[in-house]
Amino acid sequence: MSPSVLLVIGTRKGLWLARRNGGRWELTGPWLPMTEVYSVAVDTRGEPRVLAGTESPHFGPTLVTSDDLGKSWQEPEHAPVAFPADTETSLRRVWQIVPGSPEEPGVVYAGTEPSALFRSEDGGSNYELVRGLWDHPHRTEWFPGFGGQAVHTVLPDPRYPNRILVGMSTGGVYRTTDGGAEWNPANHGIRAYFMPENEYPEFGQCVHRMARNTAAPDRIYLQNHHGVYRSDDGADTWDSIAEGLPADFGFPVAVDPADPDTVYTFPLVADQHRFPPEGDCRIYRSRDGGDSWEGLGDGLPREGFWSAVMRDALCLDDADPAGVYFGSRSGEVYASSDRGESWTRIAQHLPDVLSLRAAVV
């Protein structure tokens, strides 16, 4: 029998929950209506906790938690994620929520706009600014992409809690090995074509998303603003794995939690043509670490699909085999239980899907 899976769907106008019991999906929502939900997480290190970063156009951003799988939501009286007064900065949005290492069960990280990292030690209710990254001398040279200047990817190393990678648009990849006091850029080999005076700068790359397999933490995949890369040495160096894809532009990348060679992406034609090639909705999968790719479209709209998949709207669950999920800007959510070979639409007509996370609960 299939395990019970919770899929959390963050959209531009609230959050939906999809629950699979047996082979059937049940959808509830909208929760947190009229908020933009750019980040969601399901922390299964203890009793399951669902976390969501929301932004009300009127009343600003916040971060809420649920300990009953979304039936009720809590947040502290004071802002859970807020810049200290001396920074003279205000939070625009929480782009990423990531549970820390299993060895630190209370630790949760939040990546934000403007580009900063926050750390919680109480399971994700209250956060403090990680000063080492905020005070980095490069910070004044990071600049916003279309989506804003944000830390959108946070990858704690499951072996060593003090080792953390962050990705930002723009700014690139930064790495700490001491828990956040000192950070160094880690972009060797990633091209920044929009900086013609030096296309391989130390920093300034426009990273769209990174993914790490917890069983092989030194292998990291990266979707760049043009360019798809893999590192096998913990982000010391990056090599292109774009050959075999129909385009090297796109936003999401996700890796199978049980197989570090199996990786998924959703190519778009180009920066100036952000559509699936020929309007054909296909997830691209590699089973050899990006050395070769295949397009998977069984069950997906094969023509007239002019939508896109945002950076956090492609994910896998922790079942065996892992379920694969993606959501579109046109409000559809698709699921695959056979590693992408075939797909089933489990939601449609939602607002733009911004974020997805799934877990066995």
Contact residues for other proteins (CB under 8 A)?
Answer: 34, 56-60, 62, 75, 77-79, 82-83, 85, 88-91
Give min distance, CB of 346 to other proteins, in A: 26
Element (H, E) at 133: helix 131-134
How many angstroms from the chain centroid is the CA of residue 137? 26
CB closer to other proteins, 78 vs 349: 78
Give min distance, CB of 37 to other proteins, in A: 15
Give min distance, CB of 61 to other proteins, in A: 9
From CA 69, how far away is CA 141, in angstroms rounded? 41
Give min distance, CB of 352 to other proteins, in A: 12
From CA 48, how far away is CA 125, in angstroms rounded? 14
* Edge-to-edge strand list for the sheet holding 172-176: 150-156, 164-169, 172-176, 184-185
Give min distance, CB of 70 to other proteins, in A: 18
The region that residue 227 occupies, defined by phi over 0 for left and psi between -120 and 50 for alpha, beta otherwise, is left
Give min distance, CB of 130 to other proteins, in A: 17
CB closer to other proteins, 34 vs 258: 34
CB closer to other proteins, 34 vs 269: 34
Cα Rg of the chain (Å, integer): 19
From CA 141, how far away is CA 299, in angstroms rounded? 45
The angle subtended at Cα 277 by Cα 271 and Cα 281, nearest 5°, is: 115
CB closer to other proteins, 75 vs 104: 75
**Ranges of H-type helices in 291-336:** none
CB closer to other proteins, 60 vs 144: 60
Q: Are 317 and 299 in contact (CB under 8 A)?
A: no
> In terms of Cα–Cα distance, which of 172, 149, 155, 165 is closest to 89?
149
Give min distance, CB of 83 to other proteins, in A: 6
CB closer to other proteins, 38 vs 266: 38
From CA 96, how far away is CA 52, in angstroms rounded? 9
CB closer to other proteins, 38 vs 229: 38
Contacts of 146 by beta carbon, 8 Å cutoff, 6+ apart? none
Torsion angle (degrees, nearest 10) of CA 174, 175, 180, 183:
-60
Give min distance, CB of 278 to other proteins, in A: 30
CB closer to other proteins, 88 vs 197: 88
CB closer to other proteins, 52 vs 263: 52
Give min distance, CB of 144 to other proteins, in A: 18
From CA 311, how far away is CA 290, in angstroms rounded? 18
> In terms of Cα–Cα distance, which of 311, 98, 353 is closest to 223?
311
